[in-house]
Amino acid sequence: MHNYDRWVERVLWQLRRALDSQPGQPAEDLSKRLEHVAHLLAKDLYFGYQDFPLERELLTRIRQVEAHNEKLQSQIASATSSILEELDKGFNRPAITCRMRDDDGLAGIAQLIVTGGPSLQAVERGREQADNFLSIWLEDADEVTILDPFLFKREKPFQDEVESDAVRQAAEHRHADELLALLGKNKRVNFIYRGNPNKGDGGPQKVTQGVANRIADQLDVLALKATFYVVEDLHDRVWMKLDKKGCWNANVVGTSRGGIGKRPTYILPMGPNDCGEYIKYVHHLMSRAQKSNERPIDFKKPRANKVSNSGRTRKVGA
């Protein structure tokens, strides 16, 4: 009800109360006259004096609330539209697959999770999984580059195991033969690894002598043009190939060859852009390494250092 109507009603109510105290007047005629008078009074009050400040204030507040509500409804409608638009975009995006799952998602980003465990059977099963994958991957390779700091180190399956000379030699030959079997024949191969410390320095051995000898003996048999690069600092385990199209490809391996099968690890492809950048690092390593085309170098010789003692310089190590 409009304020004006409420004021009319209020005046009528007051006048009727006054009439109740004056009996004897024609009720119908008087009622019409009083209604007319009430309209006149209300009109004067509303447009003239406006003597209802409380109601005016209330009406103003109501209008402010209505305006705020309209603004809020507009904001809610806009936000809802934006949310629905983003949800629609999300539903239409390609499915995102887990990068550590062995399936066909995203071209098989996780190519292989190699199993392993504390048993001889687990070691053999893990090595077989890794070797099957790498041998197939290398079939179209013209050139292969392997980076592994402990590539030529043969580790016993269990450290507390006592081996006879015959058992040890057979195991070292098997380590070398399995590695060479992955490469096939008639290829160029680059081996980048860490050498043993200088004989006078001690420290853990990184190249097993029996493995190195077996590798050297088999190069001509397999028609492999090998170059051995021994470096001082290397942590990466990466297998790279130059394919028939002249493109470098790479796989990152989670552990050195001697550790495959002892624990779960991975073989993951390196993206083309990363591979292009990484080959620059490989060439840097080659340029600073000692190298041989005949056999794995057992010892990494220290660089020539200048030592000033009595005014002269001399080379340390050889």
**152 and 256 co-located in one domain:** yes
107-158: per-residue pLDDT in tens? 444 557 777 777 777 778 888 889 999 999 999 999 999 999 999 999 876 6
Domain membership flag for residue 24: yes
Residue 284 within any structural domain of the chain:
yes
Confidence band, pLDDT 50/70/90 cuts, at residue 21: low
Q: Establish if 314 belongs to a structural domain.
A: no
Tell me the pLDDT band of 315, cut-offs 50, 70 and 90. Answer: very low
Last residue of a domain, one of 73, 94, 126: 73
Residue 317 inside a domain? The answer is no
Residues 53 and 115 in one domain: no
Our count of domains for the chain comes to 2
| Domain match, 117 and 259 both | yes
With respect to residue 308, please indicate whether it lies within any of the assigned structural domains.
no
Structure tokens at 158: 């269990």
Contacts 24+ apart (CB under 8 A), 296-299: 296/152, 296/191, 296/193, 296/207, 296/211, 296/212, 296/215, 296/216, 296/228, 296/230, 297/195, 297/207, 297/228, 297/230, 298/195, 298/196, 298/207, 298/209, 298/212, 299/195, 299/196, 299/197, 299/198, 299/199
- Please tell me whether residues 61 and 204 are part of one structural domain: no
31 and 164 housed in the same domain:
no
Cα–Cα dist 114/181, whole Å: 19
* Claim to verify: residue 117 and residue 260 sit in the same structural domain: yes
Helix (H, G, I), strand (E, B) or coil at 146: strand
- Average predicted confidence (pLDDT) for the chain: 79
pLDDT of 228 reads 96
**Domain boundaries, position 44:** 3-73
In a domain, 81, yes or no: no
Does residue 56 lie within any of the structural domains?
A: yes
Residues 130 and 68 placed together within one structural domain of the fold:
no
What is the pTM for the complete model shown? 0.60
Query: Does residue 170 share a domain with residue 243?
Result: yes
CB-CB contact of 282 with 145 (8 Å): yes
121 and 198 co-located in one domain: yes
Give the list of residues 6+ apart from residue 264 with CB closer than 8 angstroms, or none. 113, 114, 115, 116, 126
Question: Quick one: 46 and 130 in the same domain?
Answer: no
pLDDT tens readout for residues 58-115? 778 888 888 888 888 888 988 888 888 888 877 776 654 444 444 444 444 455 777 7
Task: Fill in the amino acid letter for 291.
Answer: K
Final residue in a domain of this structure, among 30, 56, 73: 73
Same domain assignment for residues 38 and 124: no
Question: Residue 165 falls within a domain, yes or no?
Answer: yes
**SS3 state of residue 302:** coil
Beta strands in 155-305 (DSSP E): 188-194, 225-231, 238-243, 248-253, 265-270, 290-292
Domain CATH number, residue 247: 3.30.870.10
Residues 151 and 12 in one domain: no
